[in-house]
Structure 1
Amino acid sequence: MTSPPVTKEDTPQAQGRERRGWYWYDWANSAFYTTIISVFLGPYLIPIAKTAACEQDFASMPADACARDFDTLTTGQLGFVDVLGFDIRPAAYFGLILTVSTLLQIVLLPVVGALADHTGRKRQLLGGFAYVGALATLGLFFLEGDRYLLGGGLFILANVAYGASIVVYDSFLPQISTPAERDKVSSRGWAFGYLGGFLLLALNLGLYLFRDDFRVSEGMAVRICMMSAGLWWAIFTIIPLLTLRNRPVPAHESTALRSVGGSFRQLGRTISELRRYPGTLLFLVAYLIYNDGVQTVIGNSAPYASEALKLDKDVQIKAILMVQLVAFGGALLLGALARRFGTKRVVLASLLVWTLIVVMAVFLAEGAELQFYGLAFAIAIVLGGTQALSRSLYSHVIPRGKEAEYFSLLQISDKGSAFIGSLTITLAVQFTNSYRIAIVSLVVFFVIGFLMLLAVNLPKAIRQAGNEVPEHL
């Protein structure tokens, strides 16, 4: 394939400026994932759902007494909340809204990718989705009392917008880096995101732990922390919007309605076209499976700590804070190892570590803080590298000019989009009321994903997509 001519805007200096701006969106959006999904929302939303169940089934009891004895009181047909006519256990509610948001992403994100490539307005789409998500996150400040439906609705909107913005964000990677630079650029972006998540979470930790000194209640402290994630997301998104630029695309329909229609047609052609790239398809399926496991572990870590291990929020926040800081170095470490031993080998090794992590999690004792910290440290080492290097590998096996479309297919199983995994956890908790039983099933995701990735012939897949094969794979 003949490379397009290098323009003034594509010089190394110009690409360097864009890369630095691109890193800042990882910094900006990491606040949503760490503060909302990983720490505060699940443990905060489940008690709100329990409050609603108490008001429905135990209205004569004091709210504090009902919340304290909820697990022993709720037997038979008691202890459920109504969600669109379905009776849902409060402990399963967070998993449910995570599953619903993921299902919506599966439907919408490929269209977002097609629209980005079809119109070429990636910078505008990135900003639009980012600010929808940030505003929905700001709305979580009003989550209190028995407003579990409000919390669920705002989270679904924010998570879908978050996923859509990541589709557009990832699609810039092949445009701002050469094939030889992909591992380094992708790993640096992920590491920078962890650093941003660490900084905001450290500030939130200070507020939460010293809330009495600030004269705020525990609930108010949590609500302020969740609101801060929306502010952080909104403020730092300004930097990539000022530095990233759109690339020209072939002529397309001028109206928004026709652009959407053209995007649907283009998406259909892309899915049909996947048959021409069997290596890309195999990698995509492998990533979808093992990343389901990664995202399910991350998305359910806080509820697992509170419900199965009975650890309080202080321990959870400290663990996540440590993960953010260690993952900054972990992403850079795995990136360096990839340049020495090969990217595919390092990703495969990380999947073995993930398998051990899931097995070990089942045997953690209640209240075992040190064991929980040790497991969190192991997660931090492989977390960023697994995803950053997978993103880099995938960027090599997609055809030029269709980056957003193909990254939308990848994003279906990316951050917060573990549909099969989250559904597995939700059903297991719904029927067994045990997070320990649910977590065992995740081993399957890593084992199958490992075997499928092992079977991918990457050099052949890269050549099939018409791209240059880098030195280290």
Structure 2
Amino acid sequence: MTEKNNKKTIRSWAFFDWANSAYNLVITSTIFPAYYSAITSDKNDKTIDYVTFLGMKFVNSSLYSYAMAFAFLVIAIASPILSSIADTRGNKKIFMKMFTYIGATACGMLIFFKYDYATGVGNLNFSVLMFIIAAIGFWGSLVFYNSYLPEIATPDKQDAVSAKGFTYGYIGSVILQIICFVFVFFPKQFGLADEGAASRLSFLLVGVWWVAFAQIPFKNLPKGKPNLKASTGNVLTSGFKELQKVWNQVRKMKHIKRLLYAFFFYSMGVQTVMLMATIFGEKELHLPTEKLIGTILLLQIVAIPGAMLMSYLAKNFFGNVKVLIGVVVIWIGCCIYGYYIHTEMQFYILASVVGLIMGGIQSLSRSTYSKFLPQESPDHTSYFSFYDVAEKVALVFGMFSFGFIEELTGSMRNSILAIAVFFVVGLIFLLFVLKVEPKESKAVN
């Protein structure tokens, strides 16, 4: 039996966020999207930038959206199978390691990403595939990471522990981002040819950072408790049967069911905005790379007190669900505001607000779901697999919709406005959660 609320275990768990959040900042939020957008564009505002991937023609930013959507689809299909194995054998740490090493290696391979838009010469196909594999490694590890939360912390501590993980993640990623900044802004001083070479070096540094700091949780986290009762059946189908079993249980608990519906819809918006913010700033507002990277870094720094603030408000004043409702309302306002922005200052204002609420909604969503779960269940990985599959399927829809609407209308602004609709639907379901107050959920409602 794992000792709950052990400080060393919790710190080690949080260090996994420290390790892998560098990927989320450098690869999905700042340097990689800025680099990708720069080398796949002709820098002419009056033209649409097309690239050819695996023999098919795409708008460059839409290809980026589709690549992410495909990665999330792979995770949505694979994680139930792997979670089933982890639950049965109690070896979730092995899968955390596997996805970490796969993702970090793919990040390192992005150091070879070169492409000339004018001639179409380069290794775009290989590099986009590495980008997809890196995403699979990052998101695939999270289902096992998240499932540790109810095992290492009691319900009254889970908000704070969840927020601690995100805080470690933001601090760690910002530290590496600053290191990468130095190379990108001053490449000549380090013997690098230009900003492009410095950017590619940053991709390698992410992989090294990710693997190095992941050794802390790999050393100190428990292996996981085997569930021998689940050891029969076909491993390729038992995971999906387990999800069906979880769903059958969730359907009987209205508060969890409605929370998951809400989470599904607002997750379409949250992650899509975060993943596409840099490309939006480059394509629609034509902000230079250094300002985009600096803005996203500021966003990450602001997110640290944001996550802590949401946890504090939930614990001491309003409860988790009411705070989530307030945050989703702010997200809706941000999407509407984003549709109309045209200046650099407006982008900075929007980024500051998004920074305050992005960490809070992620941290509070995870801890609220964790609190709602049967705390002594041996199937935490399966419950969190269901949670993560819901998020990944939501992201498939969110990222695909973003890219498809842009290709259809010729503007990313229309895609942002469509995201507001996802938040509205999520808000409606959160309001329904408030109407269901079983004894076990009063503490968080």
Q: Which amino acid is the alignment partner of residue 351 of structure 2? A: A
| Structure 1 residue aligned with 2:201 | 224
Q: Distance in 2 between matches of 1:202 and 1:414?
A: 30
Is 1:126 the counterpart of 2:96? The answer is yes
Q: Distance in 2 between matches of 1:33 and 1:251?
A: 35
| Structure 1 residue aligned with 2:225 | 248
| Structure 2 residue aligned with 1:388 | 363
Check whether the contact 2:76–2:392 (CA below 8 A) recurs between aligned residues: no
Secondary structure of the structure 2 residue equivalent to 1:22:
helix
Q: Distance in 2 between matches of 1:245 and 1:445?
A: 37
Q: Distance in 2 between matches of 1:11 and 1:334?
A: 23
User: Deviation per CA, 1:187-232, whole angstroms, max 9, x where unpaired?
Assistant: 1111111111111111111221122333421110110111111111
| Structure 2 residue aligned with 1:319 | 295
User: Deviation per CA, 1:222-275, whole angstroms, max 9, x where unpaired?
Assistant: 1011111111111110000111002332326879x9655543443343344433
Is 1:18 the counterpart of 2:2? The answer is no
Question: Is 338-347 or 17-26 further displaced after alignment?
Answer: 338-347
| Structure 2 residue aligned with 1:471 | 443
Cα 1:364/1:186, change in 2 over 3 Å: same
Cα 1:346/1:84, change in 2 over 3 Å: same
Counterpart mapping for 1:197-212 below 5 A: 197-212=173-188
Check whether the contact 2:81–2:238 (CA below 8 A) recurs between aligned residues: no
TM-score by length of 1: 0.86
Cα 1:135/1:204, change in 2 over 3 Å: same
Is 1:91 the counterpart of 2:61? The answer is yes
Q: Distance in 2 between matches of 1:18 and 1:310?
A: 45
Q: Distance in 2 between matches of 1:198 and 1:68?
A: 29
User: Deviation per CA, 1:344-393, whole angstroms, max 9, x where unpaired?
Assistant: 1111111111111111112211xx32222211111111111111011111
Q: Distance in 2 between matches of 1:29 and 1:459?
A: 36
Between the two proteins, the alignment pairs up a number of residues equal to 435
Cα 1:83/1:267, change in 2 over 3 Å: same
User: Deviation per CA, 1:106-163, whole angstroms, max 9, x where unpaired?
Assistant: 2222333333222211111111111111111111111112222112111111111211
Cα 1:437/1:167, change in 2 over 3 Å: same
Check whether the contact 2:104–2:210 (CA below 8 A) recurs between aligned residues: yes
- Identical-residue share of aligned pairs (%): 29
Which residue of the other structure, out of 288, 294, 302, is the alignment partner of 2:278?
Answer: 302
User: Deviation per CA, 1:318-345, whole angstroms, max 9, x where unpaired?
Assistant: 1111111111111111111111121111
| Structure 2 residue aligned with 1:136 | 106
Q: Distance in 2 between matches of 1:110 and 1:80?
A: 36
| Structure 1 residue aligned with 2:78 | 108
Check whether the contact 1:138–1:226 (CA below 8 A) recurs between aligned residues: yes
| CA RMSD of superposed structures (Å) | 2.3
| Structure 2 residue aligned with 1:194 | 170
Cα 1:397/1:425, change in 2 over 3 Å: same
Give 1:438 shift. 1.7
Q: Distance in 1 between matches of 2:181 and 2:391?
A: 27
Secondary structure of the structure 1 residue equivalent to 2:189:
coil
- Gaps (5+ residues) in structure 1? 1-6, 51-66
| Structure 2 residue aligned with 1:54 | none
Check whether the contact 1:295–1:414 (CA below 8 A) recurs between aligned residues: no
Q: Distance in 2 between matches of 1:447 and 1:186?
A: 25
Is 1:363 the counterpart of 2:340? The answer is yes
Check whether the contact 2:321–2:434 (CA below 8 A) recurs between aligned residues: no
Q: Distance in 2 between matches of 1:81 and 1:375?
A: 30
Give 1:457 shift. 4.7
Give 1:415 shift. 7.9
Q: Distance in 2 between matches of 1:417 and 1:459?
A: 24
Secondary structure of the structure 2 residue equivalent to 1:448:
helix
- Gaps (5+ residues) in structure 2? 116-121
Counterpart mapping for 1:252-263 below 5 A: 259-260=235-236, 262-263=238-239
| Structure 2 residue aligned with 1:53 | none
Q: Distance in 2 between matches of 1:11 and 1:429?
A: 47
Check whether the contact 1:46–1:94 (CA below 8 A) recurs between aligned residues: no
Secondary structure of the structure 1 residue equivalent to 2:286:
coil
Q: Distance in 1 between matches of 2:110 and 2:9?
A: 32
| Structure 1 residue aligned with 2:36 | 45
Is 1:404 the counterpart of 2:381? The answer is yes
| Structure 1 residue aligned with 2:146 | 170
